[in-house]
Amino acid sequence: MSRTVKIEKKILEKNDTIAARLRNNFAKRKLAVINIMSSPGAGKTTLLAETIKKLSGRISIGIIVGDIATDHDAKILEDAGAFWAIQINTGGRCHLEAGMIEAVMELAPEKLNLLIIENIGNLVCPAGYDLGENVTVMLGALTEGIDKPKKYPGMYRACSRLVINKTDLENALDIKADDFEKEALMVNPKLEIFKTSAKTGNGMNEWCGWIASLVNAEH
């Protein structure tokens, strides 16, 4: 005789449980945490390196970098002045999970004020996994084309902030950052938007000012 067993359980419950525990621990140690996501090549590492150069004098910044392979990015961010930088190589997995963050946090120094998690470059999967962060940021680059928000709405809706990067290429690409902004707001009207060129420094003061404001803020 068959019978029905009630379960009512989230499939990613394990990830959510670990993420909740992480969030609690981050709050206890007064650590502001950002999860930054983008497609490969949007400029996450360059943006973060420039951000660290501007802020590392006043804030101890820790970085967790996710990539399929290599520790290339962690080295760049350490050289830029990150207080702590660690690379997670997922082998092939397309997103970071809370368990991975919890494992590397055992190695994190006490002194950190800000933790930035650079997720795997992918516009689909990372959106599904809570890492215990306070803020989820999407980085889009003009080079991707302004159709991306509508093509990958899940990611743009999962974030509360958007950085539109590579604004120095507006003329070369014949794409306006304002048009990218309009498209993104059609997908998620609640997005707060920064426009930056990590290369020329345009817009970096506003972005870095916001990052600095997260430290010591109530979460």
Partner 1 sequence: MHELSVATSLMNIIVESAKADGALRVLKVNLVVGNMAGIVADSLKDCFDTVKEGSIADKAELVIEEVKATALCVECGGKFEVEQNMFNCPKCGEVVLPSGGDDLYIKNMEVE
Task: Report which of 69, 72, 15 is spatially closest to residue 44, judged by C-alpha positions.
Answer: 72
Which residue number, 23 or 95, has a Cβ lying nearer to partner 1? 95
Task: Report which of 91, 88, 82 is spatially closest to residue 106, judged by C-alpha positions.
Answer: 88
Decide: is 103 part of the binding site for partner 1 (CB under 8 A): no
- DSSP conformation letters of 128-168: G---S-SEEEEEEEGGG-TTHHHHSHHHHHH-SEEEEE-GG
Site string for partner 1, 6-25 (x = CB under 8 A): xxxxxxxxxx----------
Which residue number, 2 or 171, has a Cβ lying nearer to partner 1? 2
Residues in the chain: 219
Which residue number, 1 or 171, has a Cβ lying nearer to partner 1? 1
Which residues have a Cβ under 8 Å from the Cβ of 175 and sit 6 or more positions away?
142, 145, 146, 169
Binding segment for partner 1 among 67-75, 150-158, 160-168, 210-218 (CB under 8 A)?
A: 150-158
Which residue number, 15 or 197, has a Cβ lying nearer to partner 1? 15
Binding segment for partner 1 among 29-37, 59-67, 140-148, 182-190 (CB under 8 A)?
A: 182-190
Distance of alpha carbon 85 from alpha carbon 200, whole angstroms: 25
**Strands across the sheet containing 84-89:** 84-89, 61-67, 114-118, 32-38, 135-141, 161-165, 192-195
Decide: is 68 part of the binding site for partner 1 (CB under 8 A): no
Binding residue (CB under 8 A) for partner 1 from 53, 108, 153, 210: 153
Binding segment for partner 1 among 23-31, 101-109, 153-161, 199-207 (CB under 8 A)?
A: 153-161
Binding residue (CB under 8 A) for partner 1 from 40, 41, 154, 201: 154
Distance of alpha carbon 209 from alpha carbon 212, whole angstroms: 5
Task: Report which of 21, 25, 31, 206 is spatially closest to residue 135, judged by C-alpha positions.
Answer: 31
Binding residues for partner 1 (CB under 8 A) = 1-15, 93-95, 122, 124-125, 127-128, 150, 153-154, 157, 185-190
